[in-house]
Amino acid sequence: MSKAWPLALSALLLAACDKAPAPSAPGTAATTTVAAPVHDDAAMARYDGYGDMRFGMDDKAFRHAWQGELAGTPTTDGSCYYLTPKWIKSAADFGFMFEQGRFVRYDVGNAKETAPGGGKAGMNVEQIRTLYGDHVEQSPHKYEAGAFYLRVAGHDSGVLVFETDAAGKITRWRVGVPPQIDYVEGCS
Which pairs from 51-58 meet CB under 8 Å and 24+ separation?
53/96, 53/103, 54/103, 55/102, 55/103, 55/104, 55/105, 55/157, 55/158, 55/176, 55/177, 56/102, 56/103, 56/104, 56/177, 57/102, 57/103, 58/101, 58/102, 58/103
Q: β-pairing, 136-140 with 45-46? A: unpaired
Reported confidence tier of residue 13, pLDDT bands at 50, 70, 90: very low
User: Does the pLDDT at position 110 exceed 50?
Assistant: yes
Distance CA 60, CA 108 (A): 22
The amino acid occupying position 157 is: S
Average pLDDT over residues 169-183: 97
Q: Are strands 170-176 and 102-108 parallel, antiparallel or unpaired?
A: antiparallel
CB atoms within 10 A of CB 45: 22
- pLDDT, tens digit, for every residue of 33-51? 223 333 344 579 999 999 9
Q: Does 30 have pLDDT greater than 50?
A: no
- Range in 44-48, 72-76, 79-83, 143-147 with the lowest mean pLDDT: 72-76
The mean-pLDDT minimum among 92-106, 128-142, 143-157, 171-185 falls in 143-157
User: What is the pLDDT, as a whole number, of residue 42?
Assistant: 52
